[in-house]
Structure 1
Amino acid sequence: MRSKLLTTGLVVLFALPFGLLALLAVAPAWRFPAVLPAVYSLRALRDLLAADNELLAGLGRSVLLASVVAVTATASGFWLARAITRAARPGRWEALSYLPYALPPVLLAVLIQPFIIRLHLSGSLGGVLGLLLIAVPFATLLLRSFWTRQATEYEQLARTLGCTPRQALWQVLLPLAGPLLRTALFQTFLLAWFDFGLTNLLSVGKVRTLTVQVFAYVGEANAQLAAVASLLLLLPPVLLLWVNKSALLRKAE
């Protein structure tokens, strides 16, 4: 009985913020001390269907940016982790992979911004790809655990049996690394998806991703649009969790 009450209490506490966001999204004028909104309106949600809606544009930019960062970081991290494993002093290179996290993300953005400007990428999606400076080391450290002696022996065995390097990669290594690659892809997507500091500084505020828009609406005290943008911000992570539900439950067991 106690465990059921505890579970119910935790579910309610977890659901409260989402319920509040849903209420704010349909409440154009919810003022203190009213417990519930006096008026409800779906106008902000209907406006999402408009072709020139800024929130949908921000959603598209965020999906594009996070997808490019996730795919690039995961692919690069896979090969960098392999190179570190085969290096003469792998521990030294692994330690260097932690360097981007020695500085706050905002300070890191300030340091690399002059290079972004010289490359004429400031204020564009290309400049925001500076997110790779933190995403690639993250993926490298995560995928480092795959390149054990066993993985190397499997690769050597495949080559001994007549596989070309390409066949060994696609038919042996990638299937073995599949679960870890999906995790790296998922994590680096979320890293880029929820980033605000690096994105805002490197784009000089011109690339309005969904996260940047949430902060902008909060600063404007526009609670309804901030709530709608926050709900949109939660949509892809929820979908990714749903897609990976079977793998997560399998790990929990």
Structure 2
Amino acid sequence: MKLWKPAILSLLVILILFPFVYLVLLSMASNWRFPEVLPAYFGLKNWSRIFGSETGLLGSFIISVVISLSVATVSTLSGFFISRTVSYHPRKNTLTLLTYFPYIMAPVVFGACLSFFFLKLGLFGKPTGVIVAQFMIAFPYALIFFSSFWNERTKSLENLVATLGGNRVQTFFKVLFPIAKGMLLICFFQTFLISWFEYGLTSIIGVGKVQTLTIKVFLFIKEANFYYGALSCCLLIFPPVVLLYLNKKYVFNKIV
């Protein structure tokens, strides 16, 4: 059995890495048709066009980063503060149950239900509308995530600070934020990923005008442009890989 473990582990690593390696290779190829074993061209031509106006991938990447950072920052901070009120509320169970409401429906159906109100508010087809729509599914996640932080131990610490003469601002910035730093980072990473990979709400509220990377990936696939689709997928998985590395280095290792 010991002899099989390295082989099985190596096979698993190859299976996990193969899709990512294949995406990179496909993004660097062109004119690769059956039954040719190798593509007619293999180089950085597709990547060089990312800075041009032909694909608009650079603009989509920037829009995606701005939207995801905005959603993650606002959702994490507001979720942290408001989760305290929800956790200490007499009707905590009812309020917690309501936070699951956005997840009852599929994102496309949820977006269709919201489209009328966004149209009336002038947010339809705008990045601001996409941020607000994604916030409506990221914020409940943050509420649920931080619900476990507000327990009897945390309440005792708040009471201790109040007894020593500390006000609410000092309690949050000098005590609660340092204690919850790990959870805040994890929630930020998670809400960033929720926004980053969101397609349904973005396609409905953005109506094709707000072309994030996820929208671009599906557009290239529909056009049968697999090379640009692979290139946009490479850009799509780059920030999550960076966040995973930062999460492991600065959050997970400290917790362990």
Partner of 2:142: 139
Partner of 2:212: 209
Partner of 1:84: 86
Partner of 1:23: 25
Partner of 1:195: 198
Gaps of 5+ in 1: none
Gaps of 5+ in 2: none
Partner of 1:223: 226
Q: What are the superposed Cα offsets for residues 79-103 of structure 1, whole Å, 9 maximum, x if unpaired?
A: 2210111111211111111111111
Residue 245 (structure 2) aligned to one of 238, 242, 247: 242
Residue 186 (structure 2) aligned to one of 171, 183, 190: 183
Distance in 1, matches of 2:7 and 2:62, equals: 41
Distance in 1, matches of 2:65 and 2:36, equals: 37
Letter in 1 for 2:22: L
Runs of 4+ in structure 1 deviating by more than 6 angstroms, as ranges, are none
Aligned counterparts, 1:30-109, within 5 A: 30-50=32-52, 54-109=56-111
SS at match of 1:34: coil
Root-mean-square deviation (Å): 1.4
Provide the aligned length of Structure 1 versus Structure 2.
252
TM-score by length of 1: 0.95
Distance in 2, matches of 1:214 and 1:32, equals: 23
Distance in 2, matches of 1:110 and 1:176, equals: 40
How far has the Cα of 1:184 moved from its partner? 0.7
Distance in 1, matches of 2:112 and 2:227, equals: 32
Residue 4 (structure 1) aligned to one of 3, 6, 30: 6
Distance in 1, matches of 2:171 and 2:54, equals: 48
Partner of 2:159: 156
Letter in 2 for 1:248: F
Q: What are the superposed Cα offsets for residues 51-100 of structure 1, whole Å, 9 maximum, x if unpaired?
A: 78610100000000000100111111112210111111211111111111
SS at match of 1:122: coil
Distance in 1, matches of 2:253 and 2:51, equals: 35
Q: What are the superposed Cα offsets for residues 169-212 of structure 1, whole Å, 9 maximum, x if unpaired?
A: 10100111111111110000000000111001101111000110
SS at match of 1:87: coil
Letter in 1 for 2:166: C
Determine if contact 2:103/2:137 at 8 Å carries over to the other structure: yes
How far has the Cα of 1:128 moved from its partner? 0.6
Distance in 2, matches of 1:51 and 1:111, equals: 34
Q: Give the percent of matched residue pairs that are identical in Structure 1 and Structure 2.
A: 37
TM-score by length of 2: 0.94
Distance in 1, matches of 2:254 and 2:35, equals: 46
Distance in 1, matches of 2:107 and 2:55, equals: 30
How far has the Cα of 1:250 moved from its partner? 5.5
How far has the Cα of 1:248 moved from its partner? 2.9
